[in-house]
Structure formats: structure tokens, C-alpha cells
Structure 1
Amino acid sequence: MADTKAAVDAAQERTKAYLPQIQAALDQLKSQSEKPPPLIADAELYTGKVRDVYKPNKFPQHVVLAATGRQSAFDRALATVPFKGAVLNQVSRWWFETTKDICENHVRASPLPDVLVAARCQAFPVEFVVRGYITGSTSTSLWTHYKNGERKYCGLDFPDGLVKNQKLAENVCTPTTKDAEHDEPISGEDIVASGRMTQAQWDECRGKALAIFARGQEIAASRGLVLVDTKFEFGLADDGTCVLIDEVLTPDSSRYWLAHSYEARHAAGQEPENIDKEFLRLWYRERCDPYKDEVIPAAPDELVCELSRRYILLYELITGETFDFQAASAAVDRPAVLAECLAGL
């Protein structure tokens, strides 16, 4: 624990020195009045909460996922975070590679820091939320339902007496629907009954989600982190194989706490130290009702820059690599780089 704490402390200090560079990038984002051109002109484009998803007409076997700096929570856009797209894509790439022995994935190439080229799959309309702790602040979080008196969640029974941020007796898979506007908790039984997945598909993907999460917890612990919860997505490849898709164990899809202070802070009834977007959620929760208020406060620059720093901190702790600011902000002909990549696959 002492060695991992020292490594985390060193990374904290190193990434704090990045803040002026992050602020400069944020200033540049604010000054941009025009939306950048699409990466692929001849493609079906879906603009998600965080990613722009292209389905190129000339390459029907591939899909292009461009991660952006858009920060979303509570079913609404909150801010644009510098370098976030590159961090999300590169953290995902690292985890896809690290877990491919557990489950095949859709990755084919990453020609740009924030862009992933993947095999086109039929995504299941389900998010596999895996939890090792009871926590959260959103309407779908386990803690929100539990504190309101519910003891059955996603078809699973939870005992009385649990407190927020407590470690669960075992990791659990608590899926949600995957909808355009708002996801809802659902049980595995209802997933099968509704035709979203077959029983065999549900059993296979649930097992792989739990196995990947356990691998992630082990690796995170060796980096001085607690992997608290996450969400996975799976899809069907052309041959009918279930494959891991979308993103893996990113600070957008997951909660990470600092391990060295968790026990003491939990015993004192304090929130754990986190390096994901939960601190942004809590900032909004303290100032408004982000689900109901039509107008909410704008996230201050200091908060946005700190979120960017935390995302970069997680990237460096997990991968052991130094974040490449130059590559993430290089002025290149992005459509041309991507077109060359697609042509070579």
C-alpha cells in the first residue's frame, strides 16, 4: 500500500503541473466558433452523449467511434473537457488489449488519439453495470434505490443495514436498458423475457462482464486504485460471437477511488477520494436538481480543468504511460488519416 500510495502521490503532483496547459486548451475550445467538419463525409452519423459514431458507406464492415470532450451526466450535457476524447479512447484501447483473453472485442485500429475503428456489430440494447460497492448519485444508481427503501434491485436481493460506499459481499451485475433518453434498471430475467437477449447470450455476457471487472479490480489495486463500478456493452459479430464493444473501464464509464484513503474516509462517513466524473456530479447535486431544473449553473473553468487533470491522472496510473499532449492536439488532416487507415484494413 505504501508503494502504491507513493506512486499515486507522485502522479498527482506531476499532473497538477499540466493544469496551465489544460486551461490553455480550454480557452482555445471556447474560442472556436465553428464546428469541425465530419471525419467521414460519406457515412451515416450518430451523435451520442460523448461519442460521434460513423458508419462509412464504403466500408460497411467497420464503424468509427470518435470520442469527444463532451461531458454528460443526469441525461444532459454539462461541459466540454479538454483532452477527454483522447484519454477515453486510449484508456479503452489499453483495457481492450488487456482483457482480450477473457472476451473478444471489436477493435481493429486507432489511427488518431481519440478515434477507434471497430468491426461493425449488432449491439445488445443492454448496459451491463457491474458493481463492487454500493454508491452513486444518479437515478439509476444502486444507492439511490437502496436509500429509498428498495431491497430488490435488478432482480437481486440486498440485505438491510448497508451504508453508502460500502463494499458489497460480492461483485454484482445490475443491468440497465440502453435507451436514447434515459436508461432504466432491469433484471436478467426481464432482459430475456423482453427478447433483448437470449438466455445463453445473457449468461455468457454477464459472466464475461464479471470476469473483466474482476481483472480490472486486480489491476487497479496494483496501481493504488479501487475500481468501484463500471458499465460494459456487448454485441454480436457477423459470426454470432458475443464481443465486447464501445468503451472499457474509462473514467466516464467507471468509478475509481484512491485506495490508500478509502478505509479511513469511509469509517469517518466521508466521501472517498475519486478520480472520475463523480465529483462533477456531486458539484451539480449540491447546487441544483440536474434532472428537473430547466437551467443549471455552468461548470466553472477550475472544475472543468480539474476533471481533465483527473482523467489524465487515471490514464497515466492505469497504463503507466505519460500522456502525449502533442499527439492529442496535433494539427493533422484527420479525415485523410482515417481514410488511409480504413483503406488499409
Structure 2
Amino acid sequence: MSNTITKTNFNFPGQKDVYHGKVREVYTLENDVLVMIATDRLSAFDVVMPKGIPYKGQILNQIATKMMRDTEDLVPNWLTATPDPNVAVGIACEPFKVEMVIRGYMSGHAAREYKAGKRILCGVAMPEGMKENDAFPEPIITPATKAEMGDHDEDISREDILKRGIVSESDYLQLEEYTKKLFQRGSEIAAKRGLILVDTKYEFGKTKEGKIVLIDEIHTPDSSRYFYSEGYSERQQKGAPQKQLSKEFVRQWLIENNFQGLEGQKVPEMTDAYVASVSERYIELYENITGEIFRKADVSNVLGRIEKNVVEFLNE
């Protein structure tokens, strides 16, 4: 497991700043260039797990960049190049301080809130009489405020976003429109692969010129939940759990081991066998979501490989 990327400390030509997120490390260079490195860190319940997952960063980066290219005719995005399997390069933007979460089905966080008796989520009504994993009559947008380092993201309503001036009304309407378009396209792509895009989140930023663009990741198993289409209806009728393609299996393992990111709780031990099994699940996710065979990049000197590829690209 020593060839996983759990931290980077590069000094690229023209580097001005670096931001270490939960999973990605973002290097800001001169001329509004951003270099985003997808590490192998695994985050659940807003906590970074103690061990990296082999190939996870490559998988996330390659799904996200493929999906950006598959949606760029609908919504402009920040991406300009992918010089390495773990790296995306693009335009520096000022991120909006909200994540646009959209849900086609009542699963995950929405289902947990519903079970607790709530019928309003982020100011949006959820119909009575729903079962976990039922489809909403139409997708609902349930935004979350962007957390500062170490804080949990918080549900927030459209009304509160506008009232608190987090996003202007005209910008917010654009974010909603883009979110619906992306979810529609993501659902169509998923359907071709025998999958259902259940819910996902999108992040947006504004360029120096004032243009709103899609940033970060899109339609990856870290930011999205997928079900298998085959057998979905039968499982719902029986009240059986849905077959999922998402990070939910990690969350379920943590819950079973008494961890939900709450104060005083300890992350359970991640054995090498468990870490390897998570890596295998991520490869399965990649192949199902993209319809392509996953090709493992050479990780014998993974940090050296990334540095060489990025510097060569920048020098071009």
C-alpha cells in the first residue's frame, strides 16, 4: 500500500499557493492555472480515513474528466488538460460557497432524514408515504454550504442562500439550471450502462471574466450514488436493499463498526485485506460507470511520475 498517494508536496514552476482538500490537492500557478491532483485518500462522514486506497485517485480523476468532456456541450467547465492519470489542469475560478446536491431518489442522507420524521429537506417538501430508494416525482435540489477545513457540510435552503447573500439570485438561478441539465445528461449516460443515477453533487466557480463554470469532480462514485437498473423495481417491491455503485458501502462498513464521524468515535482498523477490497470495488465502479476496462497506471514511483508529467506539460 506504500505506493498510494496520501499527501503531495510539489513545487511546480510558477506555483503561488496550494490547498489540501479532503481528497484533492489543488495547486494554483501563475496565469490563473490550477493543477488538481486526485489523491488516494478516502473520506467518509467528512473524516479522512487513515489509509489510502490503491488507484482510487486515478479512478476518480479519469471518471471526472471523462464526464466533464461528455457534458461540456451543456455546461462550460474549468478543465483544459489531463497530463497524468491522477491530474487535471484547468482555469482558476472563485468557487461558490455552496454545493448543488440533486436527488432523483430518496436515498442516503435524504432517507435518513425522512426516517427521522422530517418531510422538508433544504426547504423542499418530500411527499408522504415514500419508502427508502423510491424515486421522487421529480428530482429535488438540496444544497449544502461548503465546509471550511474540518467542518461538516450543512444543509441549506435556497431561501437562506439568497437571504444570507451567499450567492446572488441571478447566479443561483443559473446554478439550478446547470444542475438540472447535468443531472439529466448524467442520468442518460448512466441508463446506457444499465445504471440509475440516484443523486449527486456539483460544484461551480466563476472565472475572472465572470463566467460560471463547473469545477471539481462530476458523476464519480465519491460525489454520486448509482443503482443497478436491473432488478430495481423488484427489490423496491420486496423492500430489499438496492444494489449500489457508490461509496455507500464504505459508510455502511463504518456504521456497522460504530463510526459516523461523531465526537469521541474512533475510526475502525482498516486491514490490508479490507483496503484491497475497497480498491477492487472502486475498479468495479469505474468499469461500470464508464463502460471501459480500467488500466492501472505505473505506481512504482507515483509522485515522481506525477511531477514529471505535470512539469513537462507546463513547459510545453
- TM-score higher than 0.5: yes
Structure 1 residue aligned with 2:311: 339
Matches within 5 A, 1:55-134: 55-56=28-29, 59-78=30-49, 79-134=51-106
User: Cα RMSD over matched residues?
Assistant: 2.0
Contact 2:259 2:266 in 1 (8 A): no
Q: Could you tell me which amino acid in structure 2 is paired with residue 147 of structure 1?
A: K
Partners of 1:118 and 1:156 lie apart in 2 by 34
TM-score (norm 2): 0.92
Q: Once the 2 structures are TM-superposed, how far is the Cα of residue 189 of structure 1 from its aligned partner? A: 1.6
SS at match of 2:244: coil
Q: 1:301 to 1:168 in 2, by over 3 A?
A: farther
Q: Once the 2 structures are TM-superposed, how far is the Cα of residue 299 of structure 1 from its aligned partner? A: 2.6
Structure 1 residue aligned with 2:288: 317
Q: Once the 2 structures are TM-superposed, how far is the Cα of residue 188 of structure 1 from its aligned partner? A: 1.1
Q: 1:207 to 1:92 in 2, by over 3 A?
A: same
Contact 1:254 1:276 in 2 (8 A): yes
Q: Could you tell me which amino acid in structure 1 is paired with residue 290 of structure 2?
A: T
Q: 1:333 to 1:283 in 2, by over 3 A?
A: closer
Q: 1:172 to 1:83 in 2, by over 3 A?
A: same
Give the structure with the larger helix fraction. 1
SS at match of 1:206: helix
Matches within 5 A, 1:5-16: none
Match of 2:244 among 270, 274, 278: 274
Contact 1:315 1:323 in 2 (8 A): yes
Q: Once the 2 structures are TM-superposed, how far is the Cα of residue 321 of structure 1 from its aligned partner? A: 2.5
**Please, which runs of 5 or more residues in structure 1 have no aligned partner?**
1-25
Q: Could you tell me which amino acid in structure 2 is paired with residue 106 of structure 1?
A: W
Residues paired across the two proteins, number: 310
SS at match of 1:80: coil
Contact 2:86 2:306 in 1 (8 A): no
Contact 1:39 1:338 in 2 (8 A): no
Per mean C-alpha deviation after superposition, the further-off stretch among 333-342 and 161-170 is 333-342
TM-score (norm 1): 0.84
Matches within 5 A, 1:216-295: 216-292=186-262, 293-295=264-266
Q: Once the 2 structures are TM-superposed, how far is the Cα of residue 192 of structure 1 from its aligned partner? A: 1.4
Q: Once the 2 structures are TM-superposed, how far is the Cα of residue 286 of structure 1 from its aligned partner? A: 1.5
Q: Once the 2 structures are TM-superposed, how far is the Cα of residue 326 of structure 1 from its aligned partner? A: 3.6
Partners of 1:288 and 1:274 lie apart in 2 by 21
Per mean C-alpha deviation after superposition, the further-off stretch among 167-176 and 335-344 is 335-344
Q: 1:226 to 1:306 in 2, by over 3 A?
A: farther
Match of 1:305 among 260, 276, 279: 276
Q: Which runs of 4+ in 1 moved over 6 A?
A: none
